[in-house]
Amino acid sequence: MHKKLPNTFREIVGHQYRGESITQDCVLLVDHFPYYEIDYNQSRAALCKKHYAQNMLVDNCIDPDSTTWIYDSYMYVDTTKNNIYIPSFTLNIDGYENSDPVKLDRKYKFICLNNKPRLHRILASSWIHKNFTPDEYYYTANFNIKEDGISEHLNFVDAIGPGLPRKVKNLIVGAAGAATATASIFKDTFYPFASDSVFSIVNEVSFFEHACHLSEKTLWAILGYNIPIVSGYAMATYMERIGFDMFTDIVDYSSEFIKDPFLRTQRLLNDNLEVLKNAHDVLTPEILERLEHNSSFLQRTDINKQCTTLLNSSKMLAKLDEIMYNNEYMQSYQGYR
C-alpha cells in the first residue's frame, strides 16, 4: 500500500516553456525539450560549444539533481538524474488499421518526411540532394532555402551538399495544418509512398541534446514497413531495448553515441550511403517478416506498458507507482496507459 505523500508537481509543455523557475520536485515534460534560440551568425564550433547537451529545464531548476523528471516522449536523457520514461507509442497511431500485404518490390529506395527546418533535417536534405536523383526517393519538407527564409542555414548545409530538394506542396497541407499527426493522416497521405519505399530516413527532433526523442516520424516508418535509419543520440540502442528490430545487420548505427550532432548526422548518412544506393537488393522474404514483426509489435495493446517497464529501473518504476498513487492528473495522463 502506497502512502499519501506531499508532492509538488508541474507539467511543462516543451515548446511553450519560456525559462520560468522550476521549484517543484516532480516535473512532467510533454513532447520535446524547450530550445535556446540559435544565432546563425555564430560559427559551427561556437554553436556546438554553446548548445552541446543543452537542457533549459536543468538550467532553470532550483535543485535538478533531486527533482524527478518524467518524460512522455523520450527513451533516454543523460543530462538529468531520477528519470522516468513513459513514451506513448499509441498517441499518433490510435485507430490505425491496415490489411495491405507488405511489398517485396518497391519503387523508391527510401522515403524522408520533414517538417520544421531543424539543423539535422537541413543537413540530411542537402545530403540527399547531393547523392541521389529525385526519382530514387520520396521526400517532403515544409521548408526550402531562401524563399522560406532559412538562408541562414546555408553555412551549415554547404559543408555537406549543394542545396535542398524541392518540397512537395500538394501532399503535406493536411499534416502541416493538423494539431496532431494522426493515424489517418499517415494512412491516407503518406502510407502509399512509405509502403513503396525500402528505407525511411527519419530525422527525429533531438539534435544538440544528448537524448533520444520518439515521435510519429519513427512510428510511421515502422507502420510503413520501412527499414528505419533514425537520427538521434542512442536511438537504435533504446529502440532495440524495448523490442524493436533496428536492422543493425543492415544499417550502420555505430555513430549513435557521437556527441557532436553535426558529425553524428553526417556519419549516420555516410555510413549508410552504399546500402541506400543498393536498396532494391536488400528486401528478401526474411526481411519482410522482420518488417511485419515490427509493425505488429508496435500495434500491441500493451505496448506502452511494455516499453515503460523495459526503459526504467525497478527503483524508478516504484517511484512512478508512488507518483501515480498520489497524483490524479498522472493517473489520467494519456502518456501512461
Cell (9 digits) for 4 = 499519501
Residue 161: pLDDT over 90 = no
pLDDT of residue 176: 42
Q: What b-and-e string marks burial along 20-56, b requiring 16 or more CB atoms within 10 Å of the CB?
A: eebebbbbbbbbbbbbeeeeeeeeeeebbeebeebbb
Q: What is the H or E stretch that residue 137 is in?
A: strand 137-140
Cell (9 digits) for 224 = 510503413
Residue 50 one-letter amino acid: K
277-317 tens-digit pLDDT: 999 999 999 999 999 999 999 999 999 999 999 999 999 99
What residues have CB less than 8 Å from 123, skipping those under 6 apart? 156, 157, 160, 262, 265, 266, 269
Handedness of CA 289, 292, 297, 298 (dihedral sign): positive
- Mean pLDDT within 84-93: 90
Cell (9 digits) for 249 = 545487420
pLDDT of residue 181: 79
232-282 tens-digit pLDDT: 899 999 999 999 999 999 999 999 999 899 999 999 999 999 999 999 999
pLDDT of residue 174: 43
- In this prediction, residue 333 has a pLDDT band, given cuts at 50, 70 and 90, of confident
Q: Please give the DSSP secondary-structure letter assigned to residue 142.
A: S
- In this prediction, residue 151 has a pLDDT band, given cuts at 50, 70 and 90, of confident
Percent of the chain with pLDDT over 70: 91
Q: Please give the DSSP secondary-structure letter assigned to residue 136.
A: G
Greater pLDDT, 148 or 224: 224
Greater pLDDT, 76 or 166: 76
* DSSP string for 231-288: -STTHHHHHHHTT----TTTS--TTTT-S-HHHHHHHHHHHTHHHHHTGGGT--HHHH
* In contact, 62 and 44? CB cutoff 8 Å: no
The predicted model scores a pTM of: 0.92
- Mean pLDDT within 3-27: 85
Task: Tell me which residue has cell 557532436.
Answer: 260
Three-class SS string for 160-227? CCCCCCCCCCCCCHHHHHCCCCCHHHHHHHHHHHHCCEEEEEECCCCCCCCEEECCHHHHHHHHCCCE
Task: Tell me which residue has cell 507502420.
Answer: 223
Percent of the chain with pLDDT over 90: 66
pLDDT of residue 7: 61
- Mean pLDDT within 100-125: 92
Residue 229: pLDDT over 60 = yes
**Least confident window among 85-89, 115-119, 141-145:** 141-145
Rounded mean pLDDT of the chain? 89
